[in-house]
């Protein structure tokens, strides 16, 4: 085992997952807690997770603490805005500074999808990929030629807010007909409400059992996810597109449905067929918390 120990925190809307990893990104310990409301409470909860990881591993964990969080992140300053679970919208919250004071460790912060892409690249070994996060919304992160592409304004990969339907419904971003209105976990929850299991799981199970309406809803949803895959594939042409985010917990059924939709969309186009998109589609590994592991790796790759 490498002597170095790294800490990564995945601060989500409902839970904070912390991992301590060795220098090669292998998980040594995991701590999970519920995400409280409000910036001060989130910082305190995150600091508690770091303390618990220190206790569990017996390491002093003196290295950098990496944090992945939903929102717009200024990586250089470690500040975040539009982070709904932190209760911050328009103003910047200096998350790295606050958490550094609370933990006594240097802290780096990045967007959660970027962190997940880094973790997924590390775990899968792919150096050229787009990670498609299909969760409450829809977003992508790109590792191109081994480098994370954040964009000049940290907006690279915000493909959920590409307006694709001028006659579509209003989006929370202020536009109409955005891609994420049809290709996200929220879209599934609206079309196939379920309470005892995640809606995407309920939908794909019902479709697999032969429910005709579920088959239609599943295939329409998969076609919109396939649109997102074509979008990123034709924009940056990565070796692989990884399906991640909450909806990807459906697993192989999701990959198969999206691959089938890609094949259907390519039937009339020798050009699209030549790209062999269905075979370039993979699921993010389900046995490793890629967002938390990627956050730990941030300490190695951030400026
Ligand atoms: Zn939008």
Ligand 1: distance of its center to the CA of 174 in Å? 6
pLDDT in tens, 191-243: 999 999 999 999 999 999 999 999 999 999 999 999 999 999 999 999 999 99
Query: In whole angstroms, how far apart are CA 282 and each of 8, 54, 179?
Result: 24, 34, 21
Contact (CB, 8 A) for 283 and 255: yes
How much is the pLDDT for 2? 46
pTM of this structure: 0.93
**Is a pLDDT exceeding 70 seen at residue 301?**
no
Measured between alpha carbons, how far is 19 from 265 in angstroms, rounded to an integer? 40
**Is a pLDDT exceeding 60 seen at residue 3?**
no
How much is the pLDDT for 155? 86
Residue 235 CB partners (closer than 8 Å, separation 6+): none
Task: Work out the average pLDDT over 281-302.
Answer: 90
61: three-class secondary structure by DSSP: coil
How much is the pLDDT for 161? 94
Ligand 1: distance of its center to the CA of 40 in Å? 29
How much is the pLDDT for 198? 95
Ligand 1: distance of its center to the CA of 299 in Å? 31
Ligand 1: distance of its center to the CA of 225 in Å? 15
Measured between alpha carbons, how far is 24 from 122 in angstroms, rounded to an integer? 9
Q: Determine if residue 67 is left, alpha or beta; phi over 0 gives left, psi from -120 to 50 gives alpha, anything else beta.
A: beta
Percent of the chain with pLDDT over 90: 83
Q: How many residues in total does the chain contain?
A: 303
Confidence of residue 181 (pLDDT cuts 50, 70, 90): very high
How much is the pLDDT for 163? 95
Confidence of residue 88 (pLDDT cuts 50, 70, 90): confident
Percent of the chain with pLDDT over 70: 96
How much is the pLDDT for 85? 62
Confidence of residue 172 (pLDDT cuts 50, 70, 90): confident
E strands within the chain?
Answer: 5-11, 15-22, 27-34, 65-69, 72-74, 79-81, 107-111, 129-134, 138-144, 147-149, 240-244, 281-283
Task: Work out the average pLDDT over 243-256.
Answer: 97
Ligand 1: distance of its center to the CA of 138 in Å? 10
Ligand 1: distance of its center to the CA of 285 in Å? 28
- Share the mean pLDDT of the chain: 93
């Amino acid at each position: 085992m490498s002597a170095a120990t790294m800490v990564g925190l995945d601060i989500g809307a409902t839970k904070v997952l912390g991992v301590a990893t060795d220098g090669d990104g292998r998980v040594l310990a995991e701590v999970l807690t519920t995400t409280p409301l409000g910036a001060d409470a989130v910082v305190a909860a995150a600091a508690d997770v770091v303390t618990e990881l220190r206790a569990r591993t017996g390491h002093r964990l003196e290295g950098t603490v990496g944090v992945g969080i939903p929102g717009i992140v200024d990586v250089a300053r470690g500040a975040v805005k539009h982070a709904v679970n932190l209760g911050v919208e328009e103003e910047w919250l200096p998350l790295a500074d606050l958490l550094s004071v609370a933990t006594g460790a240097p802290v780096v912060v990045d967007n959660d999808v970027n962190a997940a892409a880094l973790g997924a690249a590390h775990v899968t070994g792919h150096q050229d990929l787009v990670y498609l996060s299909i969760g409450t919304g829809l977003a992508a992160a790109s590792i191109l030629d081994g480098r994370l592409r954040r964009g000049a304004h940290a907006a690279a990969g915000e493909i959920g807010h590409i307006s694709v339907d001028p006659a579509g419904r209003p989006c929370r971003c202020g536009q109409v007909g955005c891609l994420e209105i049809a290709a996200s976990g929220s879209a599934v929850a609206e079309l196939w409400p379920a309470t005892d299991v995640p809606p995407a799981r309920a939908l794909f199970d019902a479709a697999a059992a032969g429910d005709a309406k579920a088959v239609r809803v599943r295939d329409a949803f998969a076609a919109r996810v396939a649109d997102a895959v074509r979008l990123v594939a034709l924009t940056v042409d990565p070796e692989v597109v990884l399906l991640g985010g909450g909806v990807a917990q459906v697993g192989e059924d999701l990959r198969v449905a999206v691959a089938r939709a890609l094949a259907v969309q390519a039937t009339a186009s020798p050009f699209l067929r030549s790209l062999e998109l269905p075979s370039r589609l993979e699921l993010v590994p389900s046995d490793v918390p890629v967002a938390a592991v990627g956050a730990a790796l941030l300490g190695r790759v951030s400026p």
